[in-house]
Amino acid sequence: MMSNDAIIDESEVRLDQFFFAEKDSAVYTYDFGDDWRHRIVLEKILPYDGTLVPHCLEGVRGVWDESEIPVDSQALIAEINAQFEEIWGATLSKVDFTLEDDQRNRLLEDQTLWEELFNAINTYKKIKPWEVLADDQILVIQLPDILGTAYCSVLGAAGEDFGLGIYLGNSGLRLLQQLLHGTDINRDLITTYHGLHLSFVDREELADDDYQLIKGLGFRYHGRNQWPMLRSFKPGYVPWLLDQEDIKPLTLILKQVIEAVNQVKAKALEIPVASAEKWYTRSSVKVGKRLKWENDFMSPEMTEQKNTSAQQAPLVISELELRQAKKTLSHFNIPVEFSAKFLPVPTQDQTYERPYFPRMLLAIEQKQGMILYNDLIKPDALEAELQKAFLTMINRLEQIPREVIVESEEVEHIMRPVCQALSIKIQRGEELTMTEHVLDEMLEDAF
């Protein structure tokens, strides 16, 4: 494959490593004997609807097989997807967005909140903010109380894929900055960021429960790119239908974006592009029981958080077991990488539950890359399982490492009391080389 005149081995890269924006292209050379060349163009980035990839969507114009005989494009699409299904099995099937009746009823419990949200959505669509704002003109909405900061990107200036991308908190800002800079997206960042997404799509692009929600609220839409589709992005989970707790923040965000757009249209406000030192910010102060909103311009910075690494995490395993291990087990001097990485393949325990990206607990000794421990856990089970996993590992090995290297502050925070109790040195590493190598091999073998 050739991109920007550089020849790239297809077995060593993924498409997302050099396709970043619509109209990006590359030349793919197939069968070096016949030297077939195909230009691959990223034509459109579709709203995520739960379909796991790869998946062939459409074929147009003439299609030939390797013998240069014309074939039916729809038959070929079906054959391609059948081969994908055989390779990826059940993981390729469409994520089931269907809700049980009681779940759907809970979503519609407070119809007034939903109606307020959809009225804001309708106003947003009516004022067409994409006519005056590009996706790199970021609107920062500082939400009151504990809701945090929302970084908003208006979508649709290119004439397609209309909507609003909302990146919440520090994890959202990190992902947004990487997207804006066109840098390689960190694999873990996609599965660990918090955000909301509004898309205006065609009727057939909605999941059934998207449609039932709209229908249940009494709203009607007609035509292309007219139907609102809402998705919630939660760390460790697949993009999903909105939770009840998302309704108020999203409504508040939309109302402030609408206000800013109206000011832009009235020539009372200019929104700087993301490369500027300061971004446009809507901040609020409480005046009695009401919020007073004001315009400001501030540098995008990570919100200060509690220094968790300096605090003592709770022990969820027995101190007696730790004392017994320290007394009876010997130490070995090879450093051990200990990590809790998200795997990029989601799983769904029950049809009606939100699918999640499992975390792989992985312990690898650095000298020979030997795997000492591995297990899969749910994304929100880390604090309960990490210490238990480490104790299980040392009891199986009948040895205790003198040094443990971790990559994240989260893992360091949870593991520090265990390491202190066992006289183990714990430190952070910028990159766990052995861990990345083993994970890449695992994923390559699996897919």
Structure-block tokens of residue 154: 């208006």
Q: Output the CA angle 354-16-63, nearest 5 degrees.
A: 100
Cβ–Cβ < 8 Å for 249, 150: yes
Contacts of 11 (CB under 8 A, 6+ apart): none
Q: What is the pLDDT of residue 90?
A: 45
Q: What is the pLDDT of residue 120?
A: 97
- For 126-193, strand residue ranges (E) read 139-142, 149-155, 163-168
From first to last of its 447 residues, what are the pLDDT tens digits of the chain?
A: 444 556 666 666 666 656 666 667 777 776 655 667 777 777 776 655 555 556 777 665 555 555 555 556 667 777 777 766 665 554 444 445 555 566 556 555 678 899 999 999 999 999 999 999 999 999 999 987 666 899 999 999 988 889 999 999 988 998 899 888 876 666 666 677 899 999 999 999 999 889 999 998 899 999 999 999 999 999 889 889 998 889 999 999 999 999 999 999 999 999 999 999 999 999 988 888 788 899 999 999 876 554 444 466 889 999 999 999 999 999 999 999 999 988 878 888 887 788 898 999 999 999 888 999 999 999 888 888 999 999 999 999 999 999 999 988 889 999 999 999 999 999 998 788 889 888 888 777 655
Q: What is the pLDDT of residue 33?
A: 56
* C-beta atoms surrounding 136 within 10 Å: 17
* Residues 287, 277: Cα–Cα separation, whole Å: 30
Q: What is the pLDDT of residue 422?
A: 95
pTM of the complete model: 0.69
Q: What share of the chain is helix, strand, coil (3-state, %, to 5)?
A: 35, 25, 40
Q: What is the pLDDT of residue 86?
A: 60
Q: What is the pLDDT of residue 106?
A: 55
* C-beta atoms surrounding 435 within 10 Å: 24
Give the single-character DSSP code of 356: B
Cβ–Cβ < 8 Å for 422, 325: yes
How, if at all, do strands 359-365 and 371-377 pair?
antiparallel
Structure-block tokens of residue 352: 């009606």
User: Which residue from 361, 437, 364 is spatially nearest to 397, judged by alpha carbons?
Assistant: 364
Q: What is the pLDDT of residue 322?
A: 94
* C-beta atoms surrounding 391 within 10 Å: 18
* Residues 429, 438: Cα–Cα separation, whole Å: 17
